[in-house]
Amino acid sequence: MNSVDINGIKIFCQSSRGELIDLAFADKKSLIAVNAEKILHANDRTRELFSRNIGFSDGVGAVWALKRKGFKDAVKIPGCELWLDIIGSSYHDKSFYLVGAQQDVIDNTVAKLNREFPGIRIVNYRNGYLRDGVGRRDLINDIVVCKPDVVFIAMGSPKQEDLIEEMQKAHPAVYLGLGGSFDVYVGAVRRAPDWWVNHNLEWAYRLVKQPARIARQIHLVKFAWRLIIGKY
């Protein structure tokens, strides 16, 4: 599987989602979503995390970077789709642990997964509100006891990546940070319509719906300019 280095962040260019998933299971590596903001704000800690794991193009900025480096077939792989691909391909023989979202959302997520994937083995789950160090330690200790094959963490960046770092050291597994994917899965948050998604304009749809995101979307413009002038 080929990869490129953009500002010290390694991004894999896979021929299929299945190849990406197989690699993660084979080496028990985490799948880390890459977007323009993460590349722009890369530091020694995040670069080291990406070097040990598998960065995939979750954002359109990462896709632009891959194409500029010669991977013309690069496509966006949304984390909100990838986690369901992982479950669909492995739920017959893998176990899962879910962390994130509000309590009602995570409850509804687990109930829906049990309906859609009969026999799925969810060893435990909890909401994403770790209010103190004790709650964090209790979660990690439970991960060690339950020994899941896959852990999904829907807490947003950089919180989920920080938690993945701690969990990896305590229990080797496949980890995937999901942001708000549980909310999307149960319908608490609506994802962009297909046309916007298919044209790599999901970021624009979210900006239209949430104008306050303009400060974050400026990062995409900065990143695109750096690509154009050859900074990356």
Is pLDDT at 193 greater than 80 in this prediction?
no
Q: What is the CA radius of gyration of the chain?
A: 17
- pLDDT band with cut points at 50, 70 and 90 for residue 213: low
Check whether 174 has a pLDDT greater than 90.
Answer: yes
At residue 149 the predicted structure's pLDDT band, cuts being 50, 70 and 90, is very high
pLDDT digits (tens, 9 = 90+) for 35-67: 888 888 888 888 888 888 999 998 888 888 888
The 8-class DSSP code of residue 199 comes to: T
On the question of pLDDT at 161 being above 80, the answer is yes
Task: Assess contact for 80 and 178: CB atoms under 8 A.
Answer: yes
Least confident of 40-49, 84-93, 149-158: 40-49
Mean pLDDT of all residues in 10-22? 86
CA angle, 182 then 188 then 190, to 5°: 95
DSSP class of residue 186? T
Exposed, middle or buried: residue 8 (CB in 10 Å: 0-12, 13-18, 19+)? middle
- How many other CB atoms are there within 10 angstroms of residue 76's CB atom? 19
Q: Please tell me the least confidently modeled range out of 24-33, 114-123, 202-211.
A: 202-211
The per-residue DSSP string of 38-54 comes to: HHHT--HHHHHHHHHSE
Which backbone phi and psi does 156 adopt, to 5 degrees? Answer: 85, 160
Residues 6+ apart with CB under 8 A from 50: 8, 9, 10, 32, 34
Whole-structure pTM over 0.75, yes or no?
Answer: yes
Q: Say which CATH class 2-185 falls into.
A: alpha beta
Query: What pLDDT score does 128 carry?
Result: 92
H/E stretch holding 125: strand 121-126
In the chain, what are the helix, strand and coil shares in percent, each to the nearest 5?
55, 15, 30
What average pLDDT does range 66-88 have in this prediction?
A: 91
Burial of 159 (0-12, 13-18, 19+ CB in 10 A): middle
- State residue 1's pLDDT score: 62
